[in-house]
Amino acid sequence: MSKIALLNTRLANQIAAGEVVERPASVVKELLENALDAGASRVEIEVETGGTRLIRVRDNGAGMDAEDLPLSLARHATSKIRSLEDLEQVASLGFRGEALASISSVSRLGITSNADAEGASGLRAECEGNGMEVSVKPAPHPQGTSVEVRDLFFNTPARRKFLRTEKTEFSHLEEVVKRQALSRYDVAFHLRHNGRAVHQLAACDSDTARERRVAAVCGPAFINESLYIETDIGELKLWGWVGLPTFSRSQADLQHFFVNGRVIRDRLVSHAVRQAYRDVLYHGRHPAFVLYLELDPALVDVNVHPTKHEVRFRDGRKVHDFIFRSLHRALADVRPADQLPPTGELAQLSAQPALEQEPTQDSLAWGRPAAAPAGGFGSSVAAGAVREQVAGLRELYSRPAMEEVAEEAVPPLGYALAQLHGIYILSQNTEGLVLVDMHAAHERITYERMKSAHAGEGVRSQPLLVPQTVAVSQREADCAEAAAGLFAELGLGVQRAGEESLVLREVPVSLRDADVEQLLRDVLSDLLEYGTSDRIESHIDELLSTMACHGSVRANRRLTVPEMNALLRDMEATERSGQCNHGRPTWTQLSLEELDKLFLRGR
């Protein structure tokens, strides 16, 4: 008797269901993708008991006729591809042709559909637990399709035992709906659970409406603390919202990335985003973003995973560099002025505080790696600074009423009023009060200038007294040989010495005391996985960051008002000045409205 036997259709469908249908959320994802591919402008999702008892998805798309409806439940039946050429440039969300067959093999499935926009009649197909016996009969239905999935995993009790609580399963299901809602702003989405409306998202016809949907899905805090970007190079376009570094998360739960409208999770994309945030994000925190990458469908392979969550780019390195550079530049360009409300929305202060003075040459040095002026808390320099602050405050409080003073432009971070405990600068701007951590701010300013200086001279390398032989795999050796030019740019002199060995002859001067062998292995690992590496740059930046930290103004150092104002002006002109080198915030704003609430003014 033969050891190899053909699987029966029912078992084959249930095996396929194990790949496609993990939980109720998986069913909703497949049905939503079908609805969107059918051209729906409105989708209604109704679920009971977290989706285990009932999932009903109703759309107003193209619908199906008497010929197509039974075929939709057959395995490997699809309207979305016809040839290999179609598969190589898939533009639809679903295309494998096995979702409905797989779902029907582990549930009681019913589909009611109508392809006639004029007629009120439709057809209903039912299939229960085997994916084979399909009954079709007339049923009233407007144009579009309704799919009902009841008693999920009723015939596979072992699978049902792996489901979590109703709350957990609905949480996963809701996340699927929210992601699809972010993928198609032109479609209305309505979600009900156990008869209760959870989401009612209208179709978006303007930029403001899109932002409202993002706020509804991701929370208003995200849209208020994010930056909108839009950039394109050649056939690549990236747009969406990236959270400011200060709006970070303890886990990666607010990260949405779409490729040609498809929700994806991709290691290459995740690495590019992490790399862009590396210099501004606090250790252990995760960035938040809603980003959309658009490119020619022929340049991305979506047929690499049964659930279609992953993709493969034809030129992964190009896509990685494009995402990284776009986000890196966008985050670098954020200035304090970008983090304040538009000037027209809040009342302007009428004049600069009398404390404003023309910065002296000494005060300008606070924006450079120059040594701080001598003098501690008890010195005559510090005492003079205190006397200057007190005199300035007296002048501020004795100035004429605001309406009598000519209006002048006030910088985003305003003008210094005083210093608090030798740590914080208190400043007044058009919105209210600004608090600045002077050490953190000066650390970032110093760090950015040191990076610019280093970039200007490039990576200088020095030869090792004794060349170091490194044992590697043949694949790693091939990679190193092919990327010899890149290694030279990074300051690493690497030569192939054999099938599975490399010789390291030169290293960057600033990293001469580092574990260069491990550094080489890390760079090779990155090149093999992502096609690029920032290991060298990262190590050098860490070194410069440490130097900047030690070279910056320390806590309890008393600053004069001109020195404080000079630091504020440098912050406004410096990239990434909203965070120190370790990702901590350098300043915060308290608006007049917030201050009024603290003191119960207006009540």
pLDDT digits (tens, 9 = 90+) for 499-518: 999 999 998 887 777 788 88
Q: How far is CA 35 from the centre of its chain?
A: 27
Closest CA to 92 of 103, 82, 100, 102: 82
In 333-379, which residue ranges form alpha helices assigned H by DSSP?
361-364
Give the model's pLDDT for residue 423: 92
Confidence band, pLDDT 50/70/90 cuts, at residue 246: confident
Q: Is the pLDDT of residue 406 over 90?
A: no
pTM of the model: 0.76
Name the DSSP class of 59. Answer: E
Q: How many residues does the chain have?
A: 603
Confidence band, pLDDT 50/70/90 cuts, at residue 572: very high
- Report the pLDDT value the prediction gives residue 348, as an integer from 0 to 100: 36
Dist. CA 490–CA 278, nearest whole Å: 18
217, 226 in Cβ contact below 8 A? no
Query: 44: Cβ–Cβ under 8 A, 6 or more apart, which residues?
Result: 56, 57, 58, 59, 190, 192
pLDDT at 335: 82
- For residues 525 and 224, give the distance between their C-alpha atoms in angstroms, rounded to a whole number: 38
pLDDT band at 378 (very low <50, low <70, confident <90, very high): very low
Give, to the nearest 10 degrees, the angle between helix 516-530 and helix 535-550: 130
pLDDT of residue 341: 60
**What's residue 347's pLDDT?**
34
Give the burial string for 408-425 (b: 16+ CB within 10 Å, else e). Answer: eebbbbbbbbbbeebbbb
Q: Which amino acid is at 444?
A: R
**Which residues lie across from 591 on neighbouring strands?**
432
Tokens 């032989």, residue located: 469
Which of 42-51, 356-365, 589-598 is predicted least confidently? Answer: 356-365
State the Cα–Cα distance between residues 478 and 68, nearest whole angstrom: 52
pLDDT at 456 over 50: yes
Least confident range from 286-300, 495-509, 548-562: namely 548-562
Tokens in use for 330?
């966008």
| pLDDT of amino acid 170 | 97
Count of CA atoms in the C-beta half-sphere (13 A) of 509: 8
Instruction: Say if residue 191 is exposed, middle or buried (CB neighbours under 10 Å; 0-12, 13-18, 19+).
Output: buried
- Helix 535-550 vs helix 438-457: angle between axes, to the nearest 10 degrees? 130
Residues 552 and 443: beta-carbon distance below 8 Å? yes
Whether 63 and 38 have beta carbons less than 8 Å apart is answered as yes
The residue type of 1 is M
Residue 359, pLDDT > 70, answer no
- Please give the helix or strand (H or E) that residue 87 lies within, else none: helix 84-87
Give the least confident one: 248-262, 317-331, 373-387. 373-387
Check if the beta carbon of residue 112 is closer than 8 Å to that of residue 122: yes
Pairing of strands 236-243, 226-233: antiparallel
- Distance CA(151)–CA(130), nearest Å, equals 14
Dihedral angle of Cα 353, 359, 362, 364, to the nearest 10 degrees: 110
Cα(603)–Cα(589) distance, integer angstroms: 23
Radius of gyration for the chain, computed over Cα atoms and rounded to the nearest angstrom = 31
The secondary structure element, H or E, covering residue 216 is helix 207-218
Can you list the domains of the chain with their CATH numbers? 9-201 (3.30.565.10), 207-334 (3.30.230.10), 347-450+556-571+591-598 (no CATH), 460-549 (3.30.1370.100)
pLDDT at 152: 95
- pLDDT for residue 387: 43
- What pLDDT shows up at residue 151? 95
Q: 528: Cβ–Cβ under 8 A, 6 or more apart, which residues?
A: 475, 476, 479
Q: What confidence score (pLDDT) does residue 369 get?
A: 58
Q: Look at residue 89 and tell me whether its pLDDT is greater than 70.
A: yes
- Among the ranges given (96-110, 352-366, 404-418), the one the predictor scored with the smallest mean pLDDT: 352-366
Answer whether 444's CB lies under 8 Å from 586's CB: yes
